[in-house]
A and B are shown apart, each in its own frame.
Chain A
Amino acid sequence: MSSPTSTPVGSKPSSDGLASPPSQRRRGQDSSNGDLPAMPTSPATDIASPAVHDTSLFSSPRRSVLPSEVDMSSPLIGVRGTPVRQRPDLGSARKAPQVDLHTELPSADGAVASEQAAGQKLVIWGTDVNVGTCKEKFQRFLQRFIDPTSNEDENAGLDLNEPLYMQKLEEISVIGEPVLNVNCSHVQSFDADLYRQLISYPQEVIPTFDMAVNELFFERFPDSILEHQIQVRPYNALKTRNMRSLNPEDIDQMITISGMVIRTSQLIPEMQEAFFQCQVCAFSTRVEVDRGRIAEPAVCRNCNTTHSLALIHNRSAFSDKQMIKVQESPDDMPAGQTPHTTIVYAHNDLVDKVQPGDRINITGIYRAVPMRENPRQSTVKSVYKTHIDVIHFRKTDEKRLHGLDEDSDQKLFTEERVQTLKELAAKPDVYERLSSALAPSIYEQEDIKKGILLQLFGGTRKDFSQTGRGNFRAEVNILLCGDPGTSKSQLLQYVFNLVPRGQYTSGKGSSAVGLTAYVMKDPETKQLVLQTGALVLSDNGICCIDEFDKMSDSTRSVLHEVMEQQTLSIAKAGIICQLNARTSVLAAANPVESQWNPKKTTIENIQLPHTLLSRFDLIFLMLDPQDEAYDRRLAHHLVALYYQSEEQIEEEFLDMAVLKDYIAYARTYINPRLNEEASQALIEAYVDMRKIGSGRGMVSAYPRQLESLIRLAEAHAKVRFSDKVETVDVEEAKRLHREALKQSATDPRTGFVDISILTTGMSATARKRKEEVAQALKKMIQSRGKTPAMKYQQLFDDLRGQSEAAITKDMFEEALRALADEDYLTVTGKTVRLL
């Protein structure tokens, strides 16, 4: 505004017939004539007066006649000289094709003039943006936009029935952080045309937004003191979501892409404005950087000496800049190709906002810069360098360390997709359909597949932290055990491939550190970095652990915390923290004796501590059923696998992609709660379970089992897309739980289901039996009278002769040990002494 060559707005407000010059060109002129608004680094005083003037001009939105010149790079000087901060994110790399003034001007003029004559419409050159209309529209948007259904975390604590962005402005006046984040989808729903302009001409529209918001702000809060003027940061532009879909048409448009940060550079000071001083007369001038170049003034305007101007570095203005490399996130990629990377430049306060490894959504302007010509070469490469000037970052996994992050995982579903999913959900046999779609290459094992299906959906998250109980686990843990070669690993592989945040480890190869987290020194920065392991990485997903039995004890011990508290505590190298690991565990274990011994209990077969086993909601045995009809079906299934064509398979089963979406949708949007009948049914089920055992003096259910039932019932309700957990859900949960128990907790000696096998590692009958043998032995010794020492072998033979039931050596030794514990006798070598 204050550049001498361009018409000062205040003095010539009519702006009648003259051209509205292209924005790019005007900015170019500004740069050559110094006097720019102050930078934070060099607060100048000489602009204070025009500032007041400008404000008076802009603060009256009623103005019908528009200023012919709107300087985008310095939108407005606020009241009391709130300085403008330059936005290198918008202007540092300008549009490459600039207009040649002499050849293009006449035609452009003509076009604009005629348009003006027709409808008094002034637009920024090269666009269809009319600054005044655009500003008004945006102010209207800010003042009126209400989104009662908003569930974004940014809006927490705001009144959803009041204009959203006015509350945010109020927030700015209180907090003093002059940044206004605007969700583009809000703009779109409010005014589709404004949205289109924002996407297509961000370089022009965003400064207009800046102007609009500052006017509005200083009108409302005239006394606010801000560091610099408010900058609008739009995010969530719906145009592009995927790095792969970027194409030449997106150049200079606003885009949003998601990706993962892989590298960040050091901070780069970028010269925004060069300061030149004449060596002869000390006259100083400023030159703005234009497309990475500074046009050194050849002649001093004051004393007309040629080549007398020298660059003064420490009076030039610099801004912060950082290069960030972003890689496509693995979920967005077609199979068999390598991920793409994109260079992103962050400016000013966005520098150092992200770290390598962060998953982020970036909103910015896509740029392409041609290769620079090298004077030494006659030809140049014909490629452009592309990058994104970032306007807004949004970390997608920001909240991992605290709180819930349901939103961040939000997957976008198209209307049609949601419709298909809902249709599918409405089918009465959806549960069976989905479970049979799961790993179709694995034969039968219906209940196991159903169990895994419920695990994929998970229960509802409940927060009891106010009552002191903390979070309830919503994840379902499943253990598969059974003979080797019963396709357990295959099932695990399938699940791992199905869920977006799945991790697959083998118990043999993983250490406690690999599962949890470790502290590493970054070789470059010498900074300690917390590297997360499989369990933390699969937060909100499923961690598949194969060969669970081969895992070392120390490794397994970390699972205790994860599987019930759903957190991981780390105290290493000065870093003490608790990470969330809300992961479901799907584990597979082989029996110790390579073949499952049906005469032994689960615990004896897989030799896992019962403390860990009791944390599994469902424990399935994958055994060979060894029956003819089954064999026939299995054979048919396998042979079919080897000759059926792809199409036949497709027909029979649901597409994996549909299944994926179905699960993602249900996990995100469905949060079923228990209804009255269902709670009653659950109570009854639990009481029944307790009753079974109590008749024989055993406990057959613990509260943990009740929690399992609730989770399973909730998951089943999710499968149906139902917001209520009903009796059907409880019935299925009961059935599945019973099936699993029947398989894993049946006492091989009695044939009864005995939960204590899993909770204490020994069935009640076994314990009883042990006691009986010990008592019999004691009685026998007592009946012999005073014999201080006995032969071990003889005692064993005697006992065997006396007892009706067969007594093994193990049992005998156990009895001896029990008596030794009572301090009744001691065993030394081959002799037994009484005490």
Chain B
Amino acid sequence: MRMWFVCRFCCPAAQSNSNPEWEAKVLEYFKGQLREKESHSWVPSLNDVPLHYLKPNSLVKFRCLVQDMFDPEFYMGVYETVDPSTKANVLRCGKYKDVTECGVDLNSRNTVTAERQTFYCVPIPGESPWAKEISFLSARVVPSTSYVPSRQKRSYEEDDDDMDTQPQKQREPHTVMMGGGGEHPHGNGDSKRQETEAPSSQTTAPSDCSSHLDLNFPLPGERGPACLVKVYEGLDSFKLNDTLEIYGILSVNPVLTVIVYPHRDPSLLLLNPTESMETPEEQRAHDPPASLVPRLHMLYARPLQHNNPLLPSAPTEDQSAFVSSFLVEMASVRAELLAYLTHVLLGDGLAAEYLLLHLISNVYTRRDVLPLGKFTLNLSGCPLNSYTERLYQIVQQLVPCSYRLSMSLHTMNSMRLVPKKDYVANRLVSGALQLARNTSLFLDETQLEQGQLDSSGVRNITALGNLISWQKVDYDFSYHQMEFPCNINVLVTSEGRSLLPSDCQVPLQPQVTPPNMEEYLTTIHMAQFTSQINKFRVYLSLARTLDYSISDEVTKAVEDDFVDMRKDDPQSVTAEDLHRMLVVARLLSLSLGQTTLSRDGWMRAKHIDMLRRSRTEQQKSLNGNEP
């Protein structure tokens, strides 16, 4: 019921216009309501519910990544129009709406111009299937119930216009118009197909017909609705690639679809240069059909620290209670997870330990250009033949967001990794490196064969190198590059040492050689209960968020240790090694749920680093010619 409130609340307030604080009150009201327990589950999610099941102008939520930020636009915050029944001038509110009612008096002195900005938002790229499943399973009930009452409720709606009641009918003329224009043969097909197909296929992802229109998803093969989010408040607080949960008013008015007339009247063009200035590409990117890319007027957005549905998302009291209860379990879960990973990594306990550390790593701060806390792992010596693919599937089961980039020569040469500004369409064309924070990027170097990298291949490799070393991606703005910091966990699997830089290389030493790899891994995977896997998932997401410090005493010990190590053989330990060992020590402590570094922790970190180094030395002497 709550979602009908928006329409009612806004309009009367604007009409009276007596209370200038109404805007703040609206926001406060919604924030207050949404803060209540369980309130989130009332609101249907755009990620999950097919668009045509949602009532226009209702409150919906959308979990997304800010893919592009369009230019700010000015709109009529308040406008004057003539009421057709009473013939009196009435003021209306334009906020949270895309369109005005007819007969706007453009010369009215009461017109208030206000500013808002549009963000192009896509679902979080690479979100693991399990994360989607869990987060929407609970909410599944909502859309169906919310839709049915809407039909009954309609009679109560005073300002009811045809627009809302029958979206299907409403779309018909619009489809015809586009077809008649002949400009959008695809678009025409799209809308029709959606109309006919979608109701029967409720289980599949919504609006999967969007493939014809380039929805600009960062990763290939992604699905889900993209959304144009209109932002009214706090424009500066949002950044590109932020992950947000947005609560807002859905708008799918067909007027929003720009009809590109193929044979535009030349005189019209002459006299109307403002409109003709936009290229068709730009119009398509900025005003896509509302049936494919709905508009969402933001009321409230919650920045997401993570998208793990098993964890309480807001830093509230629940969360601290949750954390403290889980901390007790942490060591035991760690042991189980380690055992699991050891199995997966063919009995290699050390590699499993490092993989675990890698999975909880996180760039927690930056010192000038240096990102701290990143821990890129290079697993070398991986068996060929789909082992890496299987390994990825297991990682995907554990983390909420991941993507496997198969570094074959062809993909490196042809794939767009770095987002690029398209000035013709005036939008940022996404690339595979436009990812949300803490996404696991799995680089499969075993797929790389000998051959020639062309210039775009070299650029892609450089971009990956920059990502690993500096945790930043230089977006291509054609006339200049712009640096966007990121926080991505990169795991490189390779046969020999990777050609990409890494913080730490672990040669895999399989203890078992199962005759049938597929079967072996599947059995391991099947042996885990869902509850067990869920524990791992919570563990990995939680360990990353813990605070960490080093006491003065331990600092001293570490310093002494470093000096001692250097005394014996200055070549053996460099500043870089110390950097790495400090990261390992940090991750090791956090993985055990300890928030300060202990002496033991440091010794353990030293120990496993030594084991690893001796293993790489060994590998070197085996191979001989490796540098």
Contacts and interface: CB of A to CB of B under 8 A. Distances in A.
Interface of A: 96-100, 246-248, 251, 260, 262-263, 265, 268-271, 289, 292-294, 321, 323, 325, 327, 330, 333-343, 345, 356-357, 368-370, 372-373, 377-387, 439-441, 443, 485-487, 489-490, 493-494, 497, 506, 509, 594, 624, 626, 628, 631-632, 634-636, 638-643, 646, 649, 656
Contacts of B479: 260, 262, 327, 356-357
B90 to A, nearest CB: 15
Interface in B537-569: 548-550, 555, 558-559, 562-563, 566-567
Nearest to A632: B563
17 contacts: A338-B68, A338-B69, A379-B100, A380-B104, A381-B99, A383-B73, A383-B75, A384-B76, A384-B113, A440-B368, A624-B575, A626-B566, A628-B567, A639-B559, A642-B583, A643-B548, A649-B367
Interface string B565-603: 011001000111011001100100000000000000000
B477 interface: yes
B462 interface: yes
A381 B575 contact: no
Contacts of B115: 247-248
A323 B106 contact: no
Contacts of B426: 325, 341
Nearest to B256: A381
A379 B558 contact: no
Nearest to B99: A379
Contacts of A337: 69, 238-240
B240 A336 contact: yes
A497 B368 contact: yes
Contacts of A384: 73-76, 113
Contacts of B458: 509
Contacts of B111: 97
A624 B574 contact: yes
Given A485-B574, A635-B559, 6 more contacts: A99-B107, A292-B273, A337-B240, A382-B75, A386-B74, A628-B566
Residue with the highest number of chain B CB atoms closer than 10 Å, among A336, A357, A489: A336
B462 A383 contact: no
Interface of B: 68-69, 71-76, 79, 94, 97-102, 104, 106-109, 111, 113-115, 236, 238-241, 253, 255-256, 270-275, 277, 365, 367-370, 372, 421, 423-424, 426, 428, 458, 462, 469-470, 477-480, 482-485, 548-550, 555, 558-559, 562-563, 566-567, 570, 574-576, 578-579, 582-583, 586, 627
A330 B582 contact: no
Residue with the highest number of chain B CB atoms closer than 10 Å, among A98, A260, A490: A490
A638 B578 contact: yes
A357 B368 CA distance: 30
A382 B274 contact: no
A635 to B, nearest CB: 4
Nearest to A439: B368
A342 B71 contact: yes
Contact of B271 (A246, A271, A626, A641): A271
Given A100-B107, A370-B76, A642-B550, A635 B71 contact: no
Contacts of A356: 479
A642 B597 CA distance: 11
A336 B484 contact: yes
Residue with the highest number of chain B CB atoms closer than 10 Å, among A486, A497, A631, A640: A631
A331 to B, nearest CB: 10
A330 B368 contact: no
A485 B576 CA distance: 6
A293 B271 contact: yes
Contacts of A440: 367-368
Chain B interface SS verdict (over half):
mixed
B575 A486 contact: yes
B473 to A, nearest CB: 12
Contacts of B108: 97
Contacts of A632: 559, 562-563
A97 B110 CA distance: 10
Contacts of B241: 336
A262 B79 CA distance: 35
A330 B256 contact: no
Contacts of A485: 574-576
A641 B477 CA distance: 33
B368 A634 contact: no
A484 B113 CA distance: 58
A383 B256 CA distance: 11
Contacts of B109: 97
A533 to B, nearest CB: 13
Nearest to A92: B273
A345 B274 CA distance: 10
B558 A248 contact: no
B486 to A, nearest CB: 10
A636 B566 CA distance: 14
A246 to B, nearest CB: 8
Nearest to A367: B274
A649 B236 CA distance: 25
B99 A494 contact: no
Given A379-B101, A382-B76, A372 B275 contact: yes
A372 B69 contact: no
B107 A97 contact: yes
Given A337-B239, A643-B550, A379 B579 contact: no
B485 A336 contact: yes
A656 B101 CA distance: 51
A246 B117 CA distance: 13
Contacts of B627: 594
B563 A642 contact: no
A643 to B, nearest CB: 4
Contacts of B566: 626, 628, 631
Given A382-B79, A509-B458, A642-B550, A656 B368 contact: yes
A494 B368 contact: yes
B71 A646 contact: no
B273 A268 contact: yes
B113 A248 contact: yes
CB-based closest 7 A-B pairs: A336-B239, A635-B562, A441-B367, A379-B99, A635-B559, A248-B113, A626-B570
Contacts of A268: 273
B106 A370 contact: yes
A380 B69 contact: no
B294 to A, nearest CB: 15
Contacts of B271: 271, 289, 292-294
A96 B107 contact: yes
Contacts of B238: 337
Contacts of B576: 485
A594 B114 CA distance: 61
Contact of A381 (B255, B274, B582): B255
Contact of B480 (A271, A330, A377, A443): A330
A321 B574 contact: no
Contacts of B72: 246, 340
A658 to B, nearest CB: 14
A262 B238 CA distance: 25
Nearest to B114: A248
A155 B484 CA distance: 42
A251 B71 CA distance: 16
Residue with the highest number of chain A CB atoms closer than 10 Å, among B98, B102, B275, B566: B566
Contacts of B562: 631-632, 634-635
Contacts of A624: 570, 574-575
B277 A382 contact: no
A23 B382 CA distance: 79
Contacts of A387: 274
A327 B428 CA distance: 13
Nearest to B102: A378
A382 B100 contact: yes
